[in-house]
Amino acid sequence: MEPLLLSETSRHRGVLQDMALELATKAAGFRRSLPAKMQASLADMVRTMNCYYSNLIEGHDTHPISAERAMNNDYSHDPKKRDLQLEARAHITVQKWVDEGNLKGAAFQASSLCEIHRRFCDLLPEEMLWIEDHDTNERIPVVAGELRHRDVAVGDHIAISPGAVPRFLERFENVFSRLGKSEAILASAAAHHRFLWIHPFLDGNGRVARLMSHAVFLDVLDTGGLWSIARGLAKNVKAYKTHLANCDLPRRNDLDGRGNLSEEALADFTRFFLEICLDQVTFMESLMQPDRLRARILMWAEEEIRLGEIPAQAGQVLEAVLYRGELPRADIPGILNVGDRQARRLVSSLMEKNVLVADTQKSPLYLKFPATLASRWMPGLFPEKTDAEA
């Protein structure tokens, strides 16, 4: 699977290093632009978004509204839809575990990758823990966190023998775990492909690879989980899969690096990967521009007030939260010039709509981004569907 890294003499290295630096700068700037509590709410939404797009790449379309219901233990009566909801819940739960810093400095370790797989599979319904051998029609169980013991083929790629998997994972870990932060950004695409090239598990490798990449960026870019590469990969899925297939190809000639696999293809994929990351940071920045976000949320509030769904002064509370990032409950009567009881009723109505939350009954209020309102508050985050369709 060499080369694992672009060589120092690669003609692409300078441009790609500039892209990595640009990504680091943009990602840091975006995070600094958001209040801490808004970061937490946005990270919650991004987990749901990441789950949707990562599963979509695998051919499973579970809308974020349906995933959000699953997180609230509200499941469909249809067994197939329920299984997809459980799969979505598994993804969101594992990413939350990653976002909490449990893989900090260890995203490339083989034990970490097995732990991601184990946690994900442990939460899947039984029916999703089987694959079928297309040659023999045999149903084969997928064991959570266990490296494969069978030969596999993915498209035209014949993966390494199962006996070689531990040795290749050891080489993978030794190379990528020793990189500094800037070099890890540049190598993120290579690690993503080489992991898939090893194909260590019978199933679930794509999801583990994307969660690994998420964990790497969380660590080396300090993203706070505020954006997701999965959305960009899903929106460019044909190019994504073409690049992965090209990276499987052997070295073309003496000018194509010194390893067994094509360095040119790896450089092309690195450029594509970093472009996707830059595009996703830019997209999320555009959604979170304060004036535009404020206008979209207050327009929603005005409509809800006209329909009698929330009290007349709810917009003022939301505007105060948007301006401050979080709002102590004791400040609300003064802002609205109302009594404590009326202020409590107003807060309750917004919390029932799932647009305001608080860590405890007495702690400050902050904004939440529910999936049901994403099309209004954050247009383009994922495809619009009605509540019934989801």
Residues 280 and 218 in one domain: yes
CATH number of the domain encompassing residue 174:
1.10.3290.10
234 and 354, same structural domain? Answer: no
Mean predicted confidence (pLDDT) in 184-201: 98
Residues 351 and 251 in one domain: no
pLDDT surpasses 80 at 169? yes
How far from the centroid of its chain's Cα atoms is residue 93's Cα? 12
Alpha carbons 126 and 129: distance in angstroms, whole number? 5
Instruction: Give the helix/strand (H/E) hosting 141.
Output: strand 139-141
pLDDT at 135 over 90: no
Place of tokens 């660590």: 219
The pLDDT of residue 257: 77
What is the per-residue pLDDT for 389?
47
Asked if 245 and 336 sit in the same domain, the reply is: no
**158 SS3 class:** strand
Residues 180 and 219 sit within 8 Å (Cβ to Cβ): no
Over range 257-263, report the average pLDDT.
89
Residue 327: give its domain's CATH number.
Answer: 1.10.10.10
Do the domain assignments include residue 334? yes
The answer to the question of residue 205 being in a domain is yes
> Which band of pLDDT confidence, cut at 50, 70 and 90, is reported for residue 111?
very high
pLDDT at residue 327, rounded to an integer = 95
Question: Among 287, 318, 345, where does a domain finish?
Answer: 287
In this structure, the answer to whether residues 361 and 272 fall within a common structural domain is: no
If one counts the domains in the chain, the total is 2
- Binned at pLDDT 50, 70 and 90, residue 104 comes out as very high
Return the pLDDT at 390: 46
- Do 260 and 314 lie in a common domain? no
Mean pLDDT of 69-84: 96
The conformation of residue 251, written as its DSSP 8-state character, comes to: P
Q: What is the pLDDT of residue 255?
A: 77
Q: Is 388 a member of any domain?
A: no
Average confidence (pLDDT) over 20-41: 95
Q: How far is CA 17 from CA 182, 186, 266, 283, in A?
A: 8, 6, 14, 22
Domain boundary among 287, 316, 331: 287
Model confidence at 107: pLDDT above 50: yes
Q: Which helix (H) or strand (E) holds 14?
A: helix 13-32
Same domain (yes/no): 158, 21: yes
Predicted confidence at residue 388, as pLDDT, reads 43
Structure confidence at residue 133 as a pLDDT band (50, 70, 90): confident
* Sequence-separated (6 or more) residues with CB below 8 Å from residue 176: 4, 108, 184, 187, 190, 191
Residues 32 and 157 in one domain: yes
84 and 207 inside one domain: yes
Task: Note the pLDDT of residue 253.
Answer: 83
Do residues 318 and 262 share a domain? no
Over the stretch 196-247, which tens digit does the pLDDT of each residue have? 999 999 999 999 999 999 999 999 999 999 998 999 999 999 999 999 999 9
48 within some domain: yes
The structure tokens 């799932």 sit at 354
pLDDT reported for residue 263: 94
Q: What value does the mean pLDDT take over residues 114-133?
A: 96
Burial class of 62 by CB neighbour count within 10 A (0 to 12, 13 to 18, 19+): buried
Percent helix, percent strand, percent coil in the chain, to nearest 5? 60, 5, 35
Counted residue by residue, the chain has a size of 390
> How much of the chain, in percent, has pLDDT values that exceed 90?
91
Range of 81's domain? Answer: 13-287
Do 262 and 296 lie in a common domain? no
**CA distances for 171 relative to 34, 119, 164, 168, 174, angstroms:** 39, 24, 11, 5, 5
